[in-house]
């Protein structure tokens, strides 16, 4: 066990997963243990956040399940995660949309990467995010959702322009840092 891991971390589900460590320009270096990438000072790695819109330009926010190790119960863009080695951002997004919300490929046709940024944020005493985060966007033609309660504690459709231009109207929502950064940039 690493000196940065505790006995509790060793049994955490993230300890059995890898992420792709990257240079600042998102060039892959190697795979690293997901838990190691999120502890201590962190290891910069590849991630994504996807923003799902309806036809009226509302964005779907998802409240992270309370049991999440980092930012549990915080509101996020629709889905966020890490692509596996060899997996594209789009493939990883499709996978998470299906797993977390039951969204199938036939509910959208315009999935695309709209931005990429690097950030580093610590969360309480639990860990750190140091990510090169791709932002993906899509519009649902059909908004039937089947959220996985192990991943998603709540859903909320919000007028995107209002959220972006008047975040003070939503200050009661605790937003994940990567989503706050993504929504303040041009999509």
Q: Which residues are catalytic?
A: 131
Q: What is the four-CA torsion angle of 102, 74, 65, 52, rounded to 10 degrees?
A: 0
Query: Chain-centre distance of CA 172, in angstroms?
Result: 20
From the list 77, 53, 41, the residue with the least C-alpha distance to 138 is 53
Neighbour-count burial for 16-41, b at 16+ CB within 10 Å, e otherwise: eebbbbbeeeeeeeebebbbbbbbee
Q: Which residue has the tokens 């951002």?
A: 89
- Is residue 138 left, alpha or beta, with left meaning phi > 0 and alpha meaning psi from -120 to 50? beta
Classify the phi-psi angles of 80: left when phi > 0, otherwise alpha if psi is within -120 to 50, otherwise beta: beta
């Amino acid at each position: 066990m690493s000196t940065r891991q505790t006995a509790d971390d060793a049994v955490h589900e993230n300890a059995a997963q890898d992420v792709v460590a990257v240079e600042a320009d998102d060039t892959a270096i190697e795979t690293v243990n997901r838990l190691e990438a999120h502890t201590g000072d962190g290891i910069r790695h590849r991630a994504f956040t996807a923003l799902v819109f309806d036809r009226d330009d509302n964005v779907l926010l998802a409240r992270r399940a309370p049991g999440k190790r980092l930012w549990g119960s915080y509101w996020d863009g629709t889905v966020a995660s890490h692509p596996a080695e060899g997996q594209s951002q789009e493939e990883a997004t499709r996978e998470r949309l299906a797993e977390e919300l039951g969204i199938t490929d036939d509910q959208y046709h315009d999935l695309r990467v709209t931005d990429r940024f690097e950030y580093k944020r610590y969360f309480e005493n639990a860990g750190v995010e140091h990510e090169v985060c791709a932002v993906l966007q899509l519009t649902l033609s059909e908004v039937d959702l089947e959220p996985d309660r192990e991943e998603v504690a709540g859903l909320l459709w919000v007028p995107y322009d209002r959220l972006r231009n008047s975040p003070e109207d939503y200050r009661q929502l605790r937003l994940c840092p990567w989503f706050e950064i993504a929504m303040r940039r041009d999509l």
